[in-house]
Amino acid sequence: MKVAIVGGGPSAFYVASRLLSRMTDARLRVHLFDRLWAPHGLVRYGVAPDHPEVKNCTNKFDQVAADARFRFFGNVNVGTPPPLGMAHTVQLGLDALQKHYSHLIFATGCTLPALHTALLNSPWCMPALGFVHWYTQHPSAPPPPALDTLTHVSLIGNGNVALDIARILLTPPDVLEKYDVPQPVLQVLRSSTVRHVDIIARRGPINAAFTAKELRELINLPDASMRPIAPELLVPPESASRQQTRILQLLAQGSRNTFGTTPKTWALDFFKSPLGIEPPPPGGTQPQLLLTHTSFDAHGHLVPHKPAPPLSTSLVIPSLGFRAEPAARFFDPAFGHLRAQAGRLLDGDGRVVPNVYASGWAANGAKGVLATTMMDAYAVADVVLKDLEGGNAAELSEMHPEFMMNPTPGDDLSPLKVRDAGATRVVTYPDWKRVDAEEVRRGELLGKERERMRWDEAEAFLWGETRTT
């Protein structure tokens, strides 16, 4: 078995770990292809910098990469057009993987933001994913928000990502500087004039999407305070879970600082939904976020109720989740991710595609935490091994001849022929470990966790010059 895994985040590494640990055959090969030059996906480019403990899983990933049967190929974009700002990636078609591998696993995640129809194409709107990619220095290199011209930010959605962004905006930069926050990001945060953050949710506090841990961090910020919430919204129903009850208790308790006594403030606005954004009124400087109150109908469905007063705000950040890329092979527009069942990929007619699988968010949508991803990845790896033991590939191939993997891929290590072909923009795991050590070294000089490299810096560090071809 020779496996190509498309994606280099937690799901990909957990699948690889399971396959390598369950199969002792020295002939097994597991190759990861990731269009990001650095491995670990959302662990590097999605986890908030002040949550370093979440990144401890990379120790496990290093152990996976130490297996002689494993190889990592970073900065390689497989099967879809390169994303905006990432034209430097090496392009590789799916047909190359079909030719050189017996099995294919998609662990590509959900890499696009879910959009709100009322907030499309507005100059006063920035998707949460772009904001996160800015402060994690994602290779797509989104431009920094003009925080030195903003006073009020409105987040649409109340998941953990929304609370991460609120916390980054409200935390003193002197507190953040010891974490994995790049120096250019700290510079922008130090010039920020943001004084208030609204977090707008279409449902009530009993249906809050954030966790108690995230809320606790926000209410305990040293230089910020929360606007009190109407007590009648915080009475737990008898059906409330322990987690829901705890969140309602924390909201009733309020922030550590009394509202209005701090340089910065924030608020949770429940039962509201956006209708659009209007330009600043005559003589005004801030656009108007149009809102509606929401309520539940007789069937328990959430519906617009009545208009709410417009909200003057400097910037609107929708944080409504993520979806897979529509250009991806096997994408299902009805679900916003790849078409999969029990880990196996399906074609448009619902037929199993032999020896092709999907794991994590690519297969299930953007939901769950790291532990959920790990368990799903292990389950998918077990399905791969079960299919291999069952020997049903020949039978499945007769059912589905359009997309075939190679049952006898041979000993060729990779379709890239990385060094021999001169594809020097491909980053191997040893390359990454060199960059990793250098980032940590640079961080130590600044008294912080690490100082990240941009792609051009990593390229120059690894190969002595910046390559343009």
Q: CA-CA distance, 320 to 318, in Å (whole number)?
A: 6
For residue 245, give the H/E element and its range.
Answer: helix 242-253
Q: CA-CA distance, 100 to 276, in Å (whole number)?
A: 49
Q: Is 56 annotated as a binding residue?
A: no
Q: CA-CA distance, 344 to 390, in Å (whole number)?
A: 14
Give whole-number Cα distances, 444 to 135, 439, 441, in Å: 19, 9, 5
Q: Is 355 annotated as a binding residue?
A: no
Give me the count of residues in the chain: 469
Residue with tokens 């496996």: 3
With the C-alpha atoms ordered 305, 307, 309, 313, is the resulting torsion angle positive or negative? positive
With contact defined as beta carbons under 8 Å apart, do 160 and 218 qualify? Answer: no
Q: Is 78 annotated as a binding residue?
A: yes
Q: CA-CA distance, 332 to 348, in Å (whole number)?
A: 8
Rounded-to-5 percentages of helix, strand, coil across the chain: 35, 20, 45
Q: Is 451 annotated as a binding residue?
A: no
Q: CA-CA distance, 127 to 201, in Å (whole number)?
A: 16
- From the centroid of its chain, how far is CA 30? 24
Helix axes 160-170, 128-135, angle to 10 degrees: 50
Backbone region of residue 189 per phi and psi (left: phi > 0; alpha: psi in -120 to 50; beta: other values): alpha
* DSSP one-letter code for 414: -
Neighbours of 19 (CB within 10 A): 28
Q: Is 290 annotated as a binding residue?
A: no
User: DSSP readout, 261-291?
Assistant: SSSEEEEEE-SEEEEEEEPPPTT--S-EEEE
Q: Is 159 annotated as a binding residue?
A: yes
Terminal CA-CA length for the chain: 34
Contacts of 15 (CB under 8 A, 6+ apart): 5, 105, 107, 359, 377, 378, 380, 381
Q: Is 368 annotated as a binding residue?
A: yes
* DSSP one-letter code for 125: B
Residue with tokens 């020896």: 355
Q: Is 29 annotated as a binding residue?
A: no
Q: Is 42 annotated as a binding residue?
A: yes
Q: Is 284 annotated as a binding residue?
A: no
User: Residue positions in the annotated binding site?
Assistant: 11, 42, 78, 158-161, 202-203, 214, 361, 368
User: Residue positions in the annotated binding site for FAD?
Assistant: 11, 42, 78, 361
User: Residue positions in the annotated binding site for NADP(+)?
Assistant: 158-161, 202-203, 214, 368
